[in-house]
């Protein structure tokens, strides 16, 4: 060991041991000295604040407008998509309706009804059709006369052209 080392060692052992204490407080910023502010300087500061406020409001309005524009385009696109879905559904329903009308027309056709009657029910077409016309004497109640008197028809039935004008006047 050298002489300097021995002196340090002796000094280190002779010095009291340091106890850890509270950490030193951070250095505070020094406040600038107070001064009187001129009216021109306050006006200049106020103008800067107002300019910053105007810029902030303008940015807010522009961003809000862009957001509103995007939102309206989204709503418009969604509406167009819904409209396309409804048009597709309407076209499908219209096609189904036309198919069903065709099916009803086929089922109502006289040829199909006659064929079904002949096959399922065993019906046959008549050999001939005979039409009957009312002639002779017949008694019927009259609705034109109160009390339900009976009239006797002795003459042949009148022709359609004779009867037609009278039918329109009755309920």
User: What's the rounded Cα separation, in Å, for the pair 100 and 106?
Assistant: 10
Give SS3 for 72.
helix
Which residues, including other chains, have CB under 8 Å from residue 118's CB and lie 6 or more apart? Answer: 124, 125
Q: How many residues would you count in the chain?
A: 171
Q: Mean pLDDT for each 10-residue chunk of the chain (171 residues)?
A: 56 61 74 86 91 96 97 97 97 97 93 90 87 69 51 59 66 49
The answer, as to whether pTM is greater than 0.85, is: no
First to last CA, the chain: 147
Domain boundaries defined on the chain: 41-110
pLDDT in tens, 4-50: 555 555 555 555 667 776 776 677 788 888 888 888 988 999 999 99
């Amino acid at each position: 060991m050298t002489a300097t080392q021995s002196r340090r060692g002796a000094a280190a052992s002779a010095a009291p041991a340091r106890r850890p204490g509270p950490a030193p407080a951070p250095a505070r910023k020094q406040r600038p000295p107070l001064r009187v502010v001129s009216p021109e300087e306050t006006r200049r500061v106020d103008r800067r604040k107002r300019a910053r406020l105007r810029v902030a409001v303008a940015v807010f309005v522009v961003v809000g407008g862009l957001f509103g524009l995007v939102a309206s385009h989204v709503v418009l696109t969604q509406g167009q998509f819904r409209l396309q879905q409804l048009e597709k559904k309407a076209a499908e329903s219209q096609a189904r309706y036309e198919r069903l009308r065709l099916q009803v027309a086929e089922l109502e056709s006289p040829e199909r009804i006659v064929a079904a009657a002949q096959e399922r029910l065993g019906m046959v077409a008549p050999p001939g059709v005979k039409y009957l016309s009312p002639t002779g004497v017949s008694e019927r109640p009259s609705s034109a006369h109160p009390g339900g008197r009976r009239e006797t028809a002795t003459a042949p039935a009148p022709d359609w052209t004779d009867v037609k004008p009278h039918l329109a006047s009755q309920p």
